[in-house]
Chain A
Amino acid sequence: MRSDRLNRSPMGLKIAAGVGLAFLHLPILLIFLYAFTTEEKSYQFPPPGLTTQWFAVAWNRPDVWAALTLSVKVASIATAVALVLGTLCAAAVSQTRFFGRETISLLVILPIALPGIITGIALRSAFSMADIPFSFWTIVLGHATFCIVVVYNNAVARFRRISGSLIEASMDLGADGFQTFRYIILPNIGTALLAGGMLAFALSFDEVIVTTFTAGQQSTLPIWMLEELIRPRQRPVTNVVAMVVVLVTFLPILGAYYLTRDGDQIAGAGK
């Protein structure tokens, strides 16, 4: 049949696609491999021997724990801030009409479109102008700027699918604003918020550029890794930590993907 021939791709294309994918993903496998190497000063290939001792070493290093807890704390709080502000902003933009609505929508999305280095420099100069000392909270603020965007984007898409009459129906039946949010809006945007929150968490967790400009003496996990690479001591510990980072960021993103995919039917089902 003709369609069969059309669907069959030439061998050359298949190989090119395979090479492309391998180029993207093999280096990640190498990172995992070096977590088990016995050579600690340089990355020899093939590794001279395999060991699991670096997991124990990493476990016992206080600087790893400090960086990890800082990253988790920053990501959690930045995500929480983004969830509240992003949802409010999405609600305003999608449910009401007001002067400058489009502009606000654009301004909210801008931080993710801007290069991180611009955001970083801008925040740094703003902080020093306002005499705000660099601290944990300046990192959180920096991360919140782009975390809001992913929450906003997820929430606004879902809000648009909620029929305006659902909210009116709820008010009509005697629910005030808070009850309407609790019983009607939240169940309908819940998965979108969870997905947005997970993405925001993952983004914050591996952020380097904005962090370097807004952090004081603290090191988040990615910054700690960057510093570690320069020092040729117990190098595989960095790889062990890298594996942890991959897991911590990859799982939420995967979760977010499945949540929004299934969520497609949730809010539009009643019509």
Chain B
Amino acid sequence: MTTAVLFDNVSRHFGAVRAVDGVNLEIAEGEFFAMLGPSGSGKTTCLRLMAGFEQPTGGHIEIFGETAEGVPPYRRSVNTVFQDYALFPHLSILDNVAYGLMVKGVGREERRKAAEDALAMVKLPGYGTRRPGQLSGGQRQRVALARALVNKPKVLLLDEPLGALDLKLREQMQEELKSLQKSLGITFVFVTHDQGEALSMADRIAVFNDGRIQQLGRPEDVYKQPKTRFVADFVGSSNVLPAKLCQRLGLKAPSASLRPEAIAIAAPANGALSLSGTVAAHSFLGAVNRVVVDVDGARVAVASPAALAVPELGSPVIISFDANELHPMEDA
């Protein structure tokens, strides 16, 4: 397995602000890698470090085994799809897409052909003569994608490319991006603050907060076994059990995560763990009822199948779950 992008203890400080602070990651060739986090968490700065718009203040970056520090953006085999698309307003769509080939000195006829192929690939054949101002947001997004892919980059960087699209278009583009990535086999590095987007598209996710990677892993693992309270809050809707409940359950950890759908409102079966509390709230969510149980001041959400009866507010209940579902976390 070839490493496409390597970050070795990379930092980018702006004065006292530690935008990126000691990040280690290794992205494999052909991988769809998502960097997930709230705004200001350092994920976009990491992307800009890969593109070459920023230089690290510490650490080491390699792109396909070559040192990236000091290499300007125009000498990297990396292309970016910008958040605001950054299409050139004075150029036609065809000239926008062919721009990368034009500055590399590819002949007129050849680059026209390549640009038209790229436009066809993003399902915009025949749009070449229009101007960026005449296209809708979704179409501009596709042009930005074609403009980057026509250069056959080794790594494609996408900076919240779907953020400006409406929900339906976004879901459609998620699928298209995923299948495009599969068919091209190019490494995609995707920045997003939408956990659903990251979970559904990525092969692996790095969850960022305060310039550091909180957790790095496959979507299922990040979702099911958050390592920190931040990941538990940001990625899933896991319950965070405080230390005293962990202790009661025989777990030595500052806190533990427990997914609502892993909990049953019932007496424990063989080997299962249980807690007792009172019903503090419930709401109907369609397929499930969300029941919030107060266990000694800690609120534990339970996703109870809608077919089951909902206990009354204030009534005492016993909740139970398999010991494997309880995952210790690193912080309180």
Contact = CB atoms under 8 A, between A and B. Distances in A.
A163 B73 contact: no
Contacts of B79: 172-173
B132 interface: yes
A249 interface: no
User: Max chain A CB contacts within 10 Å: which of B53, B80, B83, B88?
Assistant: B88
A175 B105 CA distance: 11
A8 interface: no
- Interface size class for chain B? 20 to 34
B75 to A, nearest CB: 8
Contact of B89 (A171, A176, A267): A267
A192 B151 CA distance: 32
Contact of B73 (A168, A184, A269): A168
Given A174-B103, A183-B103, A269-B133, A169 B90 contact: no
B82 A171 contact: no
B223 interface: no
A242 to B, nearest CB: 40
A229 interface: no
B88 A172 contact: no
Contact of A165 (B84, B100, B131): B84
B103 A175 contact: yes
Given A173-B79, A174-B74, A174-B104, A271 B84 contact: yes
Interface string B78-114: 1110111011111000000001101110000000000
Contacts of A268: 89
Contacts, number: 78
Interface in A213-271: 266-271
Contacts of A69: none
B72 interface: yes
A172 B52 CA distance: 8
A25 to B, nearest CB: 39
Nearest to B48: A168
Interface in A110-154: none
Contacts of B103: 170, 173-176, 179, 183
Contact of A168 (B53, B89, B131, B147): B53
Contacts of A184: 88
B232 interface: no
Contacts of B132: 269-270
- Interface size class for chain A? 20 to 34
A136 B88 CA distance: 43
A187 B132 CA distance: 15
Contacts of A38: none
Contacts of B265: none
Interface in B43-82: 51-53, 72-74, 78-80, 82
A173 B100 contact: yes
Interface string A175-203: 11001000110011000000000000000
A186 to B, nearest CB: 10
B80 A172 contact: yes
A168 B82 contact: yes
Contacts of B104: 174
A165 B51 CA distance: 12
B246 to A, nearest CB: 47
A184 B147 CA distance: 15
A188 B89 CA distance: 8
B89 A270 contact: yes
B209 to A, nearest CB: 25
Given A174-B103, A174-B104, A270 B74 contact: no
Given A165-B86, A171-B52, A269-B89, 12 more contacts: A165-B82, A166-B86, A170-B103, A171-B72, A173-B103, A183-B99, A184-B88, A266-B89, A266-B90, A269-B133, A271-B84, A271-B89
19 contacts: A168-B53, A169-B86, A169-B87, A169-B88, A171-B73, A172-B80, A173-B79, A173-B103, A173-B147, A173-B151, A174-B74, A174-B104, A175-B103, A187-B90, A266-B90, A269-B89, A270-B132, A270-B133, A271-B89
